[in-house]
Amino acid sequence: MNHDQELISIPCTVDIPYRFAAGKYLSRFLLELRDRGKFFGIRCPVCRRVQLPPRIVCAVCHTRNTEWVELGNEGSLMAFTIMYLPLTDPTTGKPHDPPFCYGSVKLDGSDSLLDYFLNIEPDISRVKVGMRMRAVLRPRDQRRGDLSDIKYFEPIE
Amino acid sequence: MKRNVAIIGGGQTYHAARRHDVNQVELVNEAVRASLSDADISLDEIDAILLGNMEFFEGTHLTDCWLVDGSGAYGKPGLKITTGGTVGATIVGAGVHHVASGLFDKVLCIGFEKQEEGDTGAILSAVAHPLYGRSVAGAAVGYFAMMGTSYMATWGATEIHSAIVAVKARQNARKNKYAHLKLDITVEDVLNSRMLAYPIRMLDMCPASNGACAMVLADEKTARDRCKKPVWIRALETVHNEQFELDWRDVSTSKPLFSRIGAERIYKRLGVRNPADYFDVFEIYEPATWAELVWYEDLGLCERGGGYKLIERGITEINGDIPVNPSGGVLSTNCIGASAMLRVWEATLQIRGEAGGHQVPREPKRALTTAYGGTNWTVLTALAKDLKD
């Protein structure tokens, strides 16, 4: 075989429509967020952890979760990054505008971390693990019933 | 285990960012031929074939069917397995279970990835929940970056420590003829490399590699009859985390994480009191520098928060007291579907004394390997030269 021969490779795209069902627990969480602007977690009756998002079963105890717990919109930043890559937002197909901050926030009263965008200048002197953060929601008429109803988390001055 | 299981041979392709010289069938076949040759066994003698890769990473489903010609699975029983980054170790585990159960005597395990053919960021984003977190998904680098900021804030490490990990990996890779990123770099080079996602720079992150690994597993009788240097699989552990829980990236968490639970269980199974003494070499799954420091701690090689001191003191170098990733690890070669199997295969080569340029000098008798899947579950595999271990 001639080792200098052209090697063929072709670009392909897969575009797969599908419909995703949230189920009643996540639906209720998202409806509370969309319609009332409130965060709810769910408490395991055995280990007492408040899990976010709410789910039918505590994976650790394998017990049905029943106790809905209203959380505030404030929490602490547990980890963060300043992203310099122009990542595509998979939900819109459009690239984010780097650099931008996102991080893991632990809402007060919750035992889970929530990853989301941070409205902080992408400067390492401005963002710190342990910072107090507040969720800012989109205006009611722009909320859609998914996590993007949160506009971003911003530092509590 | 019901029956003892040994690795009686294996092989890998050379790994690179571009492998347009082969298609997926040919890539897999390269590793299959190397493993059969190493095991001195013919395909006819293989009872079953297990193959896996990252789900849809090449844009094709049913890779077990597509790749039958190259895998050797024509007319044989087998399975396709796909468990994320752990898949290579899960395939080995499934092979062990099939042999240990007595169902088969000789099983061929294959892990591969041809990352250049797919858009891994797009496919990984589909792993994230459509209604909860997908908008920030799409790049593993962000997850490890958060682990890094948490690690620095919690334990007081600096970017210099992660840079030392990056240097160790690539300097080790230079001694490994199959490795992808063989870079003669310094800490300064790492700190001067392009920032991807603070605090992770280009040289803190694994490459996107193409490559494959294959291994032949056999029962004790076959292993003793056919193999001069069987390496025994002594224990396996798989542990998952909960869905939605991203607690591992908060390195200060007191929750018993999957990686720590896995280590605790496998040590208990083997009667290990001090893992740093018990095992002679470790091959761990570190797609980013910070993950290596966290593994040191999760495996109990040092106390919580002590990982960065371990790398600072050079203890995990090839010639150190606790050699970790003499192969160069995932940081130097990440053909994901093969990466966790490469950990097991590299540990096997170390125990056989056949790792070549990156051989640990003190004749390893026991090794431990790890894997990350979605950074939310793990597979640990313990290997030994002697069955009494």
| Segment B202-254, tens digit of pLDDT | 999 999 999 999 999 999 999 999 999 999 999 999 999 998 888 888 999 98
Query: pLDDT-derived band of residue A77, with 50, 70 and 90 as boundaries?
Result: very high
* Contact status, residue A113 vs residue A147, Cβ threshold 8 Å: no
Check residue B374 and give its pLDDT. Answer: 78
| Residue B116 domain flag | yes
| Residue B345 domain flag | no
* Contact status, residue B257 vs residue B294, Cβ threshold 8 Å: no
| Residue B138 domain flag | no
A78 CA: distance to closest CA in chain B (Å): 6
| Residue B203 domain flag | no
What are the DSSP calls for B320-363, one per residue?
A: SSS-B-TT-HHHH---HHHHHHHHHHHHHHHHHT--GGG--TT-
pLDDT tens sequence across A128-141: 999 999 999 999 99
Q: Which residues of B touch A88 (CB under 8 A)?
A: 121-122, 125, 138
B197 CA: distance to closest CA in chain A (Å): 4
Q: Is B30 helix (H, G, I), strand (E, B) or coil?
A: helix
Q: What is the CATH number of the domain that holds B83?
A: 3.40.47.10
| Residue B103 domain flag | yes
Interchain contact A55–B (C-beta under 8 A): yes
| Residue B78 domain flag | yes
Measured distance CA(B136)–CA(B385) in Å, rounded: 45
**Domain interval for residue B222:** 5-120+208-226
Residue ranges in chain A assigned as alpha helix (H): 23-31
Domain count, chain B: 1
A93 CA: distance to closest CA in chain B (Å): 10
Interchain contact A27–B (C-beta under 8 A): no
Closest by Cα among B108, B117, B115, B57 to B83: B57
ipTM comes to 0.94
| DSSP conformation class of B65 | H
pLDDT at residue A2 is higher than 80: no
Residue B201: beta bridge partners?
B195
B143 CA: distance to closest CA in chain A (Å): 8
Interchain CB distance below 8 Å, B244 and A79: no
Q: What percent of chain B has pLDDT over 90?
A: 89
Q: Which residues of A touch B138 (CB under 8 A)?
A: 87-90
Interchain CB distance below 8 Å, B59 and A14: yes
Average of per-residue pLDDT values in chain B:
96
| Residue B257 domain flag | no
- The pLDDT of B63-78, averaged and rounded, is 96
pLDDT tens sequence across B128-149: 888 998 888 767 899 999 999 9
Question: Six-digit token pair at B28?
Answer: 């897999």
Measured distance CA(B45)–CA(A10) in Å, rounded: 37
Check residue B189 and give its pLDDT. Answer: 98
Interchain contact B196–A (C-beta under 8 A): yes
- Give Cβ neighbours of residue A32 (< 8 Å, ≥ 6 apart): A38, A39, A40
- Give Cβ neighbours of residue B119 (< 8 Å, ≥ 6 apart): none
| Residue B10 domain flag | yes
Q: Tally C-beta pairs within 8 A across A and B.
A: 123
For an interface test with A, which of B117, B155, B198 has the most A Cβ atoms less than 10 Å from its Cβ?
B198
Interchain CB distance below 8 Å, A113 and B245: yes
Residue B51: Cβ-neighbour burial (10 angstroms; 0-12, 13-18, 19+)? buried
